[in-house]
Amino acid sequence: MADELKRTALHAWHREHGARMGPFAGWDMPLQYEAGAVSEHRAVREQAGLFDISHMGQVDIRGADAAQFLDYVLSNDVLELPEGLSTYCLMCREDGGVLDDVFVYRLPDRFYVVVNASNTEKDVAWLKNAAAQTSFDVEITNQSYETSMFALQGPAALEVFSRAGGKAESELSRFAIDYDTVGASRCLVSRTGYTGEDGVEIYVWNDDAPALWERLLQAGSYLEGGLQPVGLAARDSLRFEPGFALYGHELDEHTTPPEARLKWACHFDRPFIGRDAILKEIENGLSKKLVTVRMVDRGMLREGYEVHAPEGEQIGSVVTGMYSPTLEWYYGNAYVIPSFAKTGTALEIRIRGRSRRAEVVKRPLYRPAYKSS
Amino acid sequence: MNFDDSVRYQKSHEWARKEGDLVVVGISDYAQDSLGDVVFVELPEVGSTLGQGETFGVVESVKSASDLYMPVGGEIAEINEALTETPETVNEAPFADGWMIKIKPSDASQYDSLLSADDYKAYVETLEE
C-alpha cells in the first residue's frame, strides 16, 4: 500500500527531519514533525511556519474564453476578477452539491486554479467535460504532479519571504499573485493561505522545490527556534479556528454552499452550474446548517458523533472535532437542522454512548490576523 | 525512547508498577510518542471493578482516540485527577506524573504475567518499520 502513495519533492527531507508521515489523499505526507502538532500550531500563530502542501492540485486554464468558462463552472465572480488577484470559489453540481472548493488566481495570460488533492482527478475530468459540452474556447492542463506548493504563514512570514529574496510585503497585496524569483528558483507567489495568519503560498516546479525550501528555512533561521516546518495535523487545527472549510468534512457533494455558510462565495446575478438549485434551496429553506460547537463538558469531538437536542432526538452530526490550541479547549463543527443553529443553542453530543453537553458558538473562533497592506 | 525497567508492560502499551498493595498504571513512552500531543484522558470511576484486558478509559491525541486496557483486573482505587486539566503530562512524564489509575488487584499473579522491559522493547522493535 505505502509504495503506491505519491511523494512530494520534499519527501526525503521530511523523513530526514523526524516527520511522522501518513497517507493523505493518496500522498505520503508529513503529519507532524518532532515539535508536535500543538507546538507547530503555536509557532504559526506566534512567528511563522513552513508547510509542504505539494499534494494540492494545480490546474492551468487558458484560452480566449477562460474567464467566461470559469465564471460559469465556478460559483464566485471570475469574470470581473482583476488580473493579478485571486478569489475563493466553489465548484458545484447541477443540484448545488459541492464538488470542490478552489482558489482561482488570474495571471496576465491564464488562470491558475488550486484544488484539493483528494479531488484533483475528479475536478480535471469535470472541467474537461464541462468544456466539451459547451462552446467555450479553453485549454485545461493538469500541472499538479509537476508542481510543488509551499505555504509560509504567520506574523513573520512576509519578513522571512523577503529575507529569502522574495517579494517585499509592499509588493504583494492581500490575495495578489505574481511571478517571482527566489534565489535561483522561478516561482509564482500569492498572498493567500489557509491558517488565519498573513503569509504567502508559493508554487514552484518540482526540480526547484528542495533548494527553495532550504532557502526559506535559512532565511527564517533568525526566528526563535528557527522557521518551524508544519505538518498536516497543525494545518487542520490552523484552518479550523478561523472557520475555513476542509473538503470531505464541512463540504461534500451532498452539501450546498448556503448550508456551509458560503453563500458569499456565490455570484447569483449570473448563471453558474448549480445556481438555480441553490437559489431554490434558499427559497424553500435549508435542510441543514453548519455550526461551530464548544464542549460545555470536557470531551474531544470526533467526526461522525451524533448531535442531539438536549435529552432529545438526533438533530445532526459532527464533521470536524478539534482541540483548539489557541483557545485551549474542545470544539468542533457540526451540521444540524437549522432551528438548532443559533448561537447559544444547547446541544448534546453522544460520545462513546454517553451524552456530553455542548453549545453553538459564534464563528469564527479566531479572527484572521492579516496586515492591512 | 525510554523503556523504564522498574515497570511491567503489556502489548497494548500500558505499563504497571507495584506500589504497596496497589498497581499503578500508565502508558509507555513509546505509546505517548506514537500518539502525539495528548489532549484528553477519560478515566473510570473510583470504586468500579474491571477485569484484566477490559477497557478502563480512553486517551485522545490531536488525531486519534485510543482505548486503555487493564493490565491486571481489580478495583479502581485511585485515578489521576490532574490529567483532566493537564493531559499533556502523559507526554511529558509517562512513567511518573502521567500515571492514570491505581488498581487494587484481585489476582496478584496477573502482574507476573506482564512483559519485562526487555521483552516489551523487543516487541516494540517488531512494530517499527
DSSP line for A115-174: E-GGGHHHHHHHHHHHHHTS----EEEE-TTTEEEEEEESTTHHHHHHHTT---GGGS-T
Given a cut of 90, whether residue A152 has pLDDT beyond it is yes
Tell me the C-alpha distance between A81 and A101, whole Å: 17
Average pLDDT, chain A: 97
* Other CB atoms within 10 A of residue A338 CB: 16
Residue of B37, B63, B67, B128 for testing the chain A interface, max A β-carbons within 10 Å: B37
Total-model pTM: 0.95
pLDDT at A371: 77
The enclosing H or E element of A62 equals strand A57-62
Residue of A nearest to B57 (CA): A352
B55-90: burial string, b at 16+ Cβ within 10 Å, e else? ebbbbbbbbebbebbbbbbbebbebbeebeeebbbb
Q: A196: pLDDT confidence band, cut at 50, 70 and 90?
A: very high
Residue of A5, A323, A352 for testing the chain B interface, max B β-carbons within 10 Å: A323
Q: What is the mean pLDDT of residues A223-241?
A: 98
Residue A167, all three cell numbers? 517579494
- State how far the alpha carbon of A346 is from the alpha carbons of A305, A316, A330, A349, B76, in Å: 16, 13, 15, 10, 33
- The model's pLDDT over B44-98, given as tens digits with 9 standing for 90+, comes to 999 999 999 999 999 999 989 999 999 999 999 999 999 999 999 999 999 999 9
**What is the Cβ-side half-sphere exposure of residue A319, based on CA atoms within 13 angstroms?**
23
Closest partner CB to A302 (pick from B36, B37, B65): B65
Given a cut of 80, whether residue B129 has pLDDT beyond it is no
Angle between helices A120-132 and A66-73 (to 10 degrees): 120
Closest partner CB to B63 (pick from A233, A299, A352): A233
Tell me the C-alpha distance between A257 and A98, whole Å: 7
Tell me the C-alpha distance between B77 and A67, whole Å: 69
Chain B residues with CB under 8 Å of A298 CB are 40, 84
Residue A42, all three cell numbers? 503555536
pLDDT at A244: 98
- The model's pLDDT over A256-315, given as tens digits with 9 standing for 90+, comes to 999 999 999 999 999 999 999 999 999 999 999 999 999 999 999 999 999 999 999 999
Chain B residues with CB under 8 Å of A330 CB are 39-40
Q: Which single residue is written with the C-alpha cell 506566534?
A: A46
Global ipTM: 0.90
Give the 3-state secondary structure of residue A255. coil
Percentage, residues of chain A above pLDDT 90: 97
Tell me the C-alpha distance between A22 and A30, whole Å: 6
pLDDT at A370: 84
Contact B40 A233 (CB under 8 A): no
End-to-end distance of chain B based on CA atoms, in angstroms?
Answer: 15
Residue of A nearest to B59 (CA): A300
Contact B63 A237 (CB under 8 A): no
